[in-house]
Chains A and B, each alone.
Chain A
Amino acid sequence: MVVTLFIPCFVDMMYPRVGISMVRILERLGHSVRCPESAACCGQPAFNSGYWDEARTVAEKTLQALADSEVVVIASGSCGAMIKKFYLDLFRGTPNERAAADLAGKCYEFSDFLVTRLGVTDLGAHFPAKVTFHDGCHGLRELRIKSQPRKLLEKVRGVQLVEMAEEVCCGFGGTFAAKFPMISTAMGEVKCSHALATGAEYIVSNDSSCLMHIQGLLDRQKSKLKTIHLAEVLATT
């Protein structure tokens, strides 16, 4: 299968290892990967701030770049929700309405693609550590991705998964984190305390945007707890 991998802007800039891990995993599974250069951002920051015209300018470019794909894998639950769900709203009543619906039908968040589309759970990974898993809200509630990453983690040799007491947002929320930093920070502190209470060494997630926020708080607090993307765990051998 030719898999089109969409690497969102912040993963490209700050977390290239997440994208590289995905490429390795997909290639190891025998698929060929393509990454169109002109697909750079899903347009979510402008969309969530209410600037739909500006969001469309960015989203149109990505929509065109991904349109002729056989299947699209998105390296973030949040950007995945934007492309799979919110493009339908964004392009409703525009000439791109049909293209948005077509794209939505062949888009997968990374863990969902492995488990639901490919039916793969064991990637032969080895990661000897106690971990907890953070569900990014967009993946969890817009795309209903909850069991997929856990099925993948279960098959990782040496990993011990301990769930947090509560399924709650980490407080990132895109531009919300900058518009209401005090609320975002408080939510992040609550999240970190839940994670610390599990005794885990790592917070694993399928969304780098949440991890950027959580790791940012942990670093400032000089905590020993670390964050890591699911793809990086799965790429270990």
Chain B
Amino acid sequence: MNTSARQFKEQATLLTQDLRHRQLIQTAIGKYEVVRDRVRSRYQDWNAARQAAAEIKWEAVNHLDEHLTRFATQLEARGAKVHWASTGAQAREIITNLLREKQARSIIKSKAMTSEEIHLNAALEQAGFEVVESDLGEFIVQLRKEPPYHIVFPAMHLTRHQISELFTRELGSAPTADPEELTLIARRVLRQKYVRADVGFTGANFAIAETGMISITENEGNARLTAALPQVMVTLLGIEKILPRLEDLALFLPMLATVGAGQGLTCYNSFYGGPRRPGEPDGPEEYHVVLLDNRRTELLADAEQRDSLHCIRCGGCLNVCPIYRNVGGHSYGTTYSGPVGSVITPHLRGLLEWKHLSYASSLCGACTDICPVKIDLHHHLLQNRRNASASKPSRLERLAFKVFAYVINRPGCYALVKKVGRMAQRLHPLVKGSRLDPAYAWTKTRDLPPIAKQTFKEYWSSRK
């Protein structure tokens, strides 16, 4: 077993037994589900909306080259600078060089999972820059020196008491259990940071090819301040964020808000398309957009799983996933967790190292049913398993399936095995649930029904 798989199993073992965690996540997601379903019921036909969204994304992804070129051309025509990064390392280098060139010291950031993907904060801090996350959840997990727990709700795993303790320890504030007061404490700290920041860094929810604009969705107004106050603005986004037309947002903004947070529409939806123009009161003097590939084009080349690039990072599949709910966001050890993370991580970071995530699923399909852009998530997990077994099969497992096939395909042999099994199981109580039990993986926590005194096939032949 490789390191990632071992770590996943260790973390999953801890978290699945942590009943406090189970209750916390169950409650948080329970509340979200109520509002999500209420908002969703306002759609005349939710499934038709999903189909329409999937078709738009299909068009966007299947003509990605044209849309990206159009997006970049439009942006540059308004004075923005577009950078193309093939890898995470390239993106980090582009951004670090840019900050050095601008002699920046302090960077204020709004939420960007793409920056987590390329471990940007660590690289910038190592290069001597101060990086401050301005999204409240991200601010909290940054203070805790841990990655986001969830792609939409980074601090979902924490109670207000834990946050209060954290603020007291890290910011010296007085303890309080009032969420509003906690928010104000963060706000006081952050306001200073916005004013002092040399560069504002953002992600993007969508990139509109038609107008050459990025669209940012947020509830706290922190992205607006991040974009408006510093002299230089930098946006990092994956190339799959493209939407062909501005009007597509009429569908995508409400759908993202609905599945992402159970809102009809997110509080702030802003578009950015270049630096401040003459006569405009605010905005950056320079605007840089970094387009990141980082193996997305390999996913694009995979006809079977290309639709994974439809993902709008709403987090809907994480919320409905019983595996995510029980192991929690950190166990995955990936930037993108939950079903979509299990699907794409093997493509982005290597199949053999990350295949275990595709096996860590009951294939229940709740993810596929909720996905607003209809990614065939749980079937992609099956395909990843098939690809992993084809490229590096487990000899033992393959042998077991060969033996199984041999036995089950020969009625006489199968009948004999059942008879032998029926005798052998008399000895089972001696080892049941212990390490010596061949069925230990099952019997450690569960009883196993015995082979019946008369199997169905025996019953059937006795009738004839």
Contacts and interface: CB of A to CB of B under 8 A. Distances in A.
A216 B405 contact: no
B16 A183 contact: yes
B408 A41 contact: yes
A7 to B, nearest CB: 5
Contact of B365 (A17, A37, A142, A186): A142
B452 interface: yes
Interface string A1-39: 000000101011111110110000000000000010110
**Chain A interface bracket (under 10, 10 to 19, 20 to 34, 35 or more):** 35 or more
A58 B405 contact: yes
A176 B363 contact: yes
Interface in A191-237: 212-213, 215-217, 219-220
Given A51-B398, A181-B445, A20 B409 contact: no
Interface string A31-57: 000010110110101111111101101
A215 B362 contact: no
A37 B446 CA distance: 31
A235 to B, nearest CB: 14
A187 B362 contact: yes
A13 B389 CA distance: 28
Given A58-B405, A186-B326, A11 B456 contact: yes
Contact of A220 (B360, B362, B445): B445
A190 B26 contact: yes
B430 interface: no
A137 interface: yes
B302 to A, nearest CB: 16
Given A14-B449, A16-B456, A190-B26, A49 B397 contact: yes
Nearest to B407: A40
Interface in B358-400: 359-366, 368-369, 382, 385-390, 393, 397-398
Nearest to A136: B364
Given A49-B389, A168-B322, A169-B362, A182 B405 contact: no
Contacts of B454: 16
A184 to B, nearest CB: 7
A14 B363 contact: no
A178 B359 CA distance: 11
Contacts of B411: 37-38, 40
A179 interface: yes
Nearest to B386: A50
B402 to A, nearest CB: 6
**Chain B interface bracket (under 10, 10 to 19, 20 to 34, 35 or more):** 35 or more
B397 A51 contact: yes
Contacts of A55: 401
A80 interface: no
* Most central of A7, A11, A46 by chain B CB within 10 Å: A46
Given A35-B460, A186-B16, A57 B405 contact: yes
A134 B13 CA distance: 26
A52 B360 contact: no
A182 B408 contact: no
Given A12-B456, A13-B418, A40 B442 contact: no
Given A7-B456, A40-B414, A183-B360, A14 B451 contact: yes
B404 A58 contact: yes
A178 B441 contact: yes
A160 interface: no
A157 interface: no
A171 interface: yes
Nearest to A55: B401
Given A142-B365, A176-B359, A216 B13 contact: no
Interface of A: 7, 9, 11-17, 19-20, 35, 37-38, 40-41, 43, 45-52, 54-55, 57-58, 61, 137-138, 140-142, 168-169, 171-188, 190, 212-213, 215-217, 219-220
Given A19-B459, A58-B409, A176-B362, 4 more contacts: A51-B397, A58-B408, A180-B359, A190-B322
Question: Which 4 residue pairs are nearest across A and B when measured between Cβ atoms?
Answer: A173-B362, A50-B389, A216-B446, A50-B385
23 contacts: A7-B456, A11-B456, A15-B449, A16-B459, A19-B456, A19-B459, A20-B456, A20-B459, A40-B408, A46-B401, A48-B382, A54-B405, A57-B409, A137-B363, A176-B363, A180-B360, A183-B16, A186-B17, A187-B326, A188-B446, A190-B26, A190-B326, A215-B447
